[in-house]
Structure 1
Amino acid sequence: MQAPSVGGVRLPRGNGETVRLPRGASLTDFAEKINANPAAMVQAMFHLGEMVTATQSVSDEILGLLGQEMNYTIQVVSPEEEDRELLDTFDITYGEDAGDEDDLEFRPPVVTVMGHVDHGKTRLLDTIRKTNVQEGEAGGITQHIGAYQVVTEVGEQERLITFIDTPGHEAFTAMRARGANSTDIAVIVVAADDGVMPQTVEAINHAQAASVPVVVAVNKIDKQGANPQRIRQQLTDYGLIAEEYGGDTMFVDISARQGTNIDALLEAIVLTADATLDLRANPKMEAQGVAIEAHLDRGRGPVATVLVQRGTLRVGDSIVAGDAYGRVRRMVDEFNEDIIEATPSRPVQVIGFTSVPGAGDTFLVVDEDRVARQIADRRQARMRNAQFASRRKRVSLEDLDKALKETSQLNLIIKGDNSGTVEALEAALLKIDVGEEVELRVIDRGVGGITKANVDLAIASDAIILGFNVRAEGKVVDQAAHEGIDIRYYSVIYRAIEEIEQALTGMLKPEYEEVELGRAEIREVFKSSKIGTIAGCMVTGGEVRRRSKARLLRDNVVVAENLGVATLRRFKDDVTEVREGFECGLTLGSYADLRVGDVIETYEMREKKRS
């Protein structure tokens, strides 16, 4: 059955059936599903006002538009569902413990430490681990995710707790959300002298969205002005009611700097885990978990900090994480000591990936390297298509000319030392809104130093390169300088955001506002064969300037616009301006319809500062 033609192009007509397509699918993918001609679809889209090619990744809206015209219901498969279908083809189950109840064994709780900037999260972990991470943080804020396992004694029994430290600055929302989604318990750190702040609320929202129990650490009780009771009262507004007030949330008053009540906090974490959670996993199955952080190490290559959630990860395992794969060549713990295997809830650094995984990517162990490579390749293709579709700006035929003429674009290439930081920086930059006149595009991002390939891409696309805790060296620096490529280096994320926002604001076309200069009333009108019509005026307000813009008012009605004061004289002398209370003679160029009693209003257009 043929559908009515679209602009003369006839396409197959469906019966309302559902067609499942991955995000970022092309017209060719759609055509294969329904046995249609991709070229005909391209023609049909052209007549519908959309210019796309047959193999180009397109947005969900375009797929839906075409499906509606052909009487098909387009269902865009979510990345999670698509990944599940991919793993099903390899007969792999992710997210579930294999075996039965007898195979499950107790595992340590995984704890995320969250809170506002400078409320003492890193200092707390620093005190717990008896190490000093904080001094190395740029700008005094944590910009990576770290995972550590510590031992505490509860009721004369040694218990393990895994801690995940997440950055506190507002730009790291996605990283904190990722931390909450891979955790069992959230510790919200609130400074007793500062109170509940924006990122405190955000951390609570992430924990509640992940349905994890919360323990509140009221820090800095040793500081002047500390008021732990005020913190308890403030947090009741967010559903965190202390046990002493009849609630079920444990509050512990601590001083991370002095080491006060740290043992009580660890005990509260263990008691909360025992009371509310069933923390068991099967250590005998092949390992599965999540990549907490990843970076490119000069000597060791791609290094990923992974958290094993179920199974046991061993040296020699074939592993795939997101679109990265490899074989576990070496594993080290938080003390940089080699280990052979990692059981559930154990954070380890894995060396052996062929590329850098994304922070937050799930990882799993498969039977052989070939399977790992195939899964990674398919994920990479899917992510690339979805990325192209989301970055493509939708331009219709009607507004193409306007888009080409009016839209300014700033292209960026982001390189960083960790994938989580790069992702957070990109997300923060893309949220900058300076209007529709300027578009920000991140054309490439990656982990590691700035390379010749990055500079070549910047030359081809007229892009700026942002290096976050990474540098360009040697010939790359010389090439960038020779080609005029701007490379900006940053170690604190909000400085990068501020500078890019300023750059975008600078690309906006200037806005002008009218500023009135003065008004002059015509008292006499003279005709001159050489000069034209001359108005003898009295300046009644402000000042009249030569070459300023002018309009003519008659009985308070504008009769002529876009005029200009061509000549201006006081008696026989040419002058540049005449102020209020003085007489003058002037001409308005070739405009001659001047009458006694008319008012000449002069003004100028000044550039308006953008806020």
Structure 2
Amino acid sequence: MSKVKVYELAKELNLSSADLIELLKKEFNVVAKNHMSVIEDEDAELIKELISEGTISSEKTIVDEYEDMLAEEVNKGNKKKKKTRKQLEAEAAAAAAANSLEVVEINETIMVKDLAEKINKSSAELIKELMFCGVMAGMNQEIDFETAKKVCEKFEIIAEKIEQNDELDDLIIEDSEESLEKRPPIVAVMGHVDHGKTSLLDAIRKEKVTESEAGGITQHIGAYTVTLNGEDITFLDTPGHEAFTSMRARGAQITDIVILVVAADDGIMPQTKEAISHCKAADVPMIVAINKIDKEGANIDRVKQELTEYGLVAEDWGGDTICVPVSAKKGIGIENVLEMVILTAEMLELKANPNRNANGTVIEAKLDKGRGPVASLLVQTGTLSVGDSILVGTTYGRIRAMFDDTGKKIKTAGPSIPVEVLGLSEVPAAGDRFNQVEDEKTARNMAEKRKEKLKNESFSSSHRVSLEGLYNQIKEGTVKELSIIVKADVQGSVEAIKQSLEKLSTDDVKVRVIHGAVGAITETDITLASASNAIVIGFNVRPDGNAVAASERDGVEIKTYRIIYDAIEDVKSAMIGMLEPEYKEVVLGTAEVRETYKISSVGTIAGCYVTEGKIVRNSDVRVIRDGIVIFETTLSSLKRFKDDVKEVKSGYECGLSLDKFNDMKAGDLIEAYTVEAIERKEL
């Protein structure tokens, strides 16, 4: 429904904004705060009609007000305050002009010279005002909307943002309840390595898919459909929790149910815990498959007991988590797992409209030398057919061929059906959404607009939460919940930090630890943090190389501490706007210990290979063993062959000894770093 601003309607009715606001309140019980408030178009039309018919009084117009003022001034005896008719008429004209302020429409970003043309000012004037606002920009540089709005206000001009709606929004159809039909559930299998995820999938495939169709499915498309008692179930082969969460980070919530595989002889392991955290963050129902019940040492009750520690209570223990004992190797309990999936799907009432334009998600994609870009798509709504034009993320294409999960050519695919398609212009990213559009030209135009929008978004500052900027974001209302991932060297520290941080919650912002585990900070943690807009806190642990690269790429903040109270105080100080970071740690390089030599007069000498950066003499170092920081000290000596050297760069070998530490072992990492004083830029 279209809307109109108060000052626009006031101008049309020859009213002052104040009179119109009073009229709205008295006659229509509509509260408008100021001249920029909006009212529904229907109300505006009704007001016009009633005023024209004389049904309601329009009060005094701006002209009436100034005629009264003129009479009052003329009749005053005080000559000092008396104004001429000409002066009053000039004031009336100025007031009328102020009541109809000039409005300009601006995109998310705009070049300075283009804005100058829009508001009929010179570029020099505009640049001068920008400087007063603290922004240094030349005439050919872009500024964001908020900056442009502030500058326009200086010239008494109202700036309005042009909503950059994706044209695809016009194609979104609200499906009526009658048009919805039952669809198969989409299931992902997750769990710890070697707990039997692949074995379970193989057992399901062997039992429910014919042998002629079974070959090469996993490698072919990354998803397949099985049938039980006439009910279809779609399984995703690819999602480990990294893929699962990276898809969620792109807004693609494609999984309806997760089967969590836990080995009966092993129990809850680190990756199991990570999988539980990811599923809870995504709010996806879980079915626990307790695998390997045929093995010696299997203890189903122990697994159920461990699950309660993560808020998952088995149904037979009075909870609501479905637990199914299975043996993938011997084929025991496979039917029960599938039946529980179908039962859970019935409770979820999964439905979709097959009689409309198709949309869905990219499961995976690749560039094939012979066939070009190839994408595996999961249709979620509508029916996709050969010849359809689709928009996929920032790419597009017309479907030339379509294959099902067995590699067989098909012509159409309905909701929850995975297909492989040819005909896209570029390789899309896993997790990208696809939508069917009218024709290829429309798809191309939309793809170009999306690319432009992404460019503009990258121009804007990142909205990732950080401790340094947390207070400002709380004040602006952009942060209501601070999500944190905690990694520590021992479980006791994880629980202590978790409980202490969650106690810091206030009315303004809630602190929530979405995942806590023992071990080094990994790329998986960064992926979860990126999807959940969280920060990562490490206690006595360090991020690995992949994690550091991923954090820089995704803009995720990693904070590491040696003292628990420092972590708690930093978060607390950030929440009340008092965080004062004074120093920044800069990692110089990492060396791997290859061999150690004990010399009686010197101590332990480590023969090392520098893997990253450089090792500098007399620098601070930390010894890392299995991702855990075991000692911090300084470098006491650094040699190349027999010579003392100032530094050793990546790719070279060296010998080194540490101050007050001789327990170095082969495989340890020696991380050299320095601490630099930095000037505060925020708060």
TM category (shorter chain) comes to 0.5 to 0.7
Deviations 1:169-220 (A, max 9, x none): 7687424766981122222222223322343333333333433322111222
SS at the partner of 1:181?
A: coil
Deviations 1:561-607 (A, max 9, x none): xxxxxxxxxxxxxxxxxxxxxxxxxxxxxxxxxxxxxxxxxxxxxx9
Is 1:114–1:166's contact at 8 Å kept on the other side of the alignment?
no
**What is the aligned counterpart of 1:93 among 147, 150, 172?**
172
Q: Where does residue 267 of structure 1 map in the other structure?
A: 339
Deviations 1:321-354 (A, max 9, x none): 1111111111101111101100111010111111
Deviations 1:436-472 (A, max 9, x none): xx9999999xxxxxxxxxxxxxxxxxxxxxxxxxxxx
> Displacement of 1:265 after TM fit?
0.3
Q: Where does residue 449 of structure 1 map in the other structure?
A: none
Q: 1:318 to 1:237 in 2, by over 3 A?
A: same
> Displacement of 1:511 after TM fit?
2.8
Find the aligned partners of 1:183 and 1:305 in 2 and give their Cα distance: 15
Q: Where does residue 629 of structure 2 map in the other structure?
A: none
Find the aligned partners of 1:56 and 1:144 in 2 and give their Cα distance: 48
**What is the aligned counterpart of 2:321 among 245, 249, 253?**
249
Is 2:221–2:420's contact at 8 Å kept on the other side of the alignment?
no
**What is the aligned counterpart of 2:204 among 125, 128, 131?**
128
> Displacement of 1:364 after TM fit?
1.0
**What is the aligned counterpart of 1:280 among 326, 333, 351?**
351
SS at the partner of 1:238?
A: coil
Find the aligned partners of 2:122 and 2:196 in 1 and give their Cα distance: 61
Q: Where does residue 231 of structure 2 map in the other structure?
A: 159
Q: 1:386 to 1:223 in 2, by over 3 A?
A: farther
Find the aligned partners of 1:273 and 1:382 in 2 and give their Cα distance: 37
Is 2:288–2:322's contact at 8 Å kept on the other side of the alignment?
yes
Is 2:242–2:527's contact at 8 Å kept on the other side of the alignment?
no
Verify: 1:147 aligned to 2:228, yes or no.
no
SS at the partner of 2:327?
A: coil
Is 2:260–2:287's contact at 8 Å kept on the other side of the alignment?
yes
TM-score of the two chains, using structure 1 as the length reference: 0.54
Find the aligned partners of 1:357 and 1:172 in 2 and give their Cα distance: 17
Deviations 1:264-320 (A, max 9, x none): 10010001111x212222111111111121111111111111111111100000111
Q: 1:165 to 1:214 in 2, by over 3 A?
A: same
**What is the aligned counterpart of 1:183 among 235, 239, 255?**
255
Find the aligned partners of 1:511 and 1:145 in 2 and give their Cα distance: 51
> Displacement of 1:263 after TM fit?
1.1
Q: Where does residue 366 of structure 2 map in the other structure?
A: 295
> Displacement of 1:101 after TM fit?
3.1
Is 1:240–1:249's contact at 8 Å kept on the other side of the alignment?
yes
Is 2:107–2:164's contact at 8 Å kept on the other side of the alignment?
no
Verify: 1:511 aligned to 2:574, yes or no.
no
SS at the partner of 1:129?
A: helix
Q: Where does residue 560 of structure 1 map in the other structure?
A: none
Q: 1:175 to 1:319 in 2, by over 3 A?
A: closer
Verify: 1:319 aligned to 2:390, yes or no.
yes
Q: Where does residue 294 of structure 2 map in the other structure?
A: 222
> Displacement of 1:426 after TM fit?
14
1:489-528 equivalent positions in 2, closer than 5 A: 505-506=613-614, 511=619
Which AA in structure 1 matches 2:181?
E
1:384-399 equivalent positions in 2, closer than 5 A: 384-389=455-460
Q: Where does residue 609 of structure 1 map in the other structure?
A: 672
Verify: 1:352 aligned to 2:433, yes or no.
no
Find the aligned partners of 2:416 and 2:444 in 1 and give their Cα distance: 26
Find the aligned partners of 2:277 and 2:634 in 1 and give their Cα distance: 47
Unaligned runs of 5+ in 2: 1-99, 465-523, 537-541, 555-609, 621-632, 638-643, 645-669, 675-683
Verify: 1:109 aligned to 2:185, yes or no.
yes
Q: Where does residue 31 of structure 1 map in the other structure?
A: 115
Q: 1:134 to 1:310 in 2, by over 3 A?
A: closer
Q: Where does residue 462 of structure 1 map in the other structure?
A: none
Which AA in structure 2 matches 1:199?
Q
Find the aligned partners of 1:43 and 1:608 in 2 and give their Cα distance: 49
Which AA in structure 2 matches 1:111?
V
Find the aligned partners of 1:115 and 1:356 in 2 and give their Cα distance: 29
Is 1:318–1:365's contact at 8 Å kept on the other side of the alignment?
yes
Q: Where does residue 366 of structure 1 map in the other structure?
A: 437
Deviations 1:99-150 (A, max 9, x none): x33322221111122223333223322222239999999xxxx999922111
Percent sequence identity over matched residues?
45
> Displacement of 1:256 after TM fit?
2.2
Which AA in structure 2 matches 1:350?
V
More helix, by proportion: 2
Deviations 1:495-521 (A, max 9, x none): xxxxxxx8665499983688999xxxx
Q: 1:316 to 1:289 in 2, by over 3 A?
A: same
Which AA in structure 2 matches 1:609?
A
Find the aligned partners of 2:375 and 2:269 in 1 and give their Cα distance: 32
Find the aligned partners of 1:371 and 1:359 in 2 and give their Cα distance: 23
Is 1:325–1:355's contact at 8 Å kept on the other side of the alignment?
yes
SS at the partner of 1:258?
A: coil
Find the aligned partners of 2:246 and 2:314 in 1 and give their Cα distance: 28
Q: 1:504 to 1:67 in 2, by over 3 A?
A: farther
Which AA in structure 2 matches 1:376?
A
Verify: 1:330 aligned to 2:401, yes or no.
yes
Find the aligned partners of 1:258 and 1:288 in 2 and give their Cα distance: 39
Is 1:331–1:339's contact at 8 Å kept on the other side of the alignment?
yes
Which AA in structure 2 matches 1:343?
G
Q: 1:507 to 1:86 in 2, by over 3 A?
A: farther
Q: Where does residue 42 of structure 2 map in the other structure?
A: none
1:555-566 equivalent positions in 2, closer than 5 A: none
SS at the partner of 1:379?
A: helix
Find the aligned partners of 1:128 and 1:29 in 2 and give their Cα distance: 64
Q: 1:293 to 1:191 in 2, by over 3 A?
A: same
Which AA in structure 1 matches 2:227?
V
Unaligned runs of 5+ in 1: 1-13, 394-420, 445-501, 518-546, 548-606
Q: 1:338 to 1:170 in 2, by over 3 A?
A: closer
Higher RCO (C-alpha 8 Å, min separation 6): 1
Q: 1:259 to 1:509 in 2, by over 3 A?
A: farther
SS at the partner of 2:297?
A: coil
The number of equivalent residue pairs is 399
SS at the partner of 2:171?
A: coil
Find the aligned partners of 1:63 and 1:433 in 2 and give their Cα distance: 37
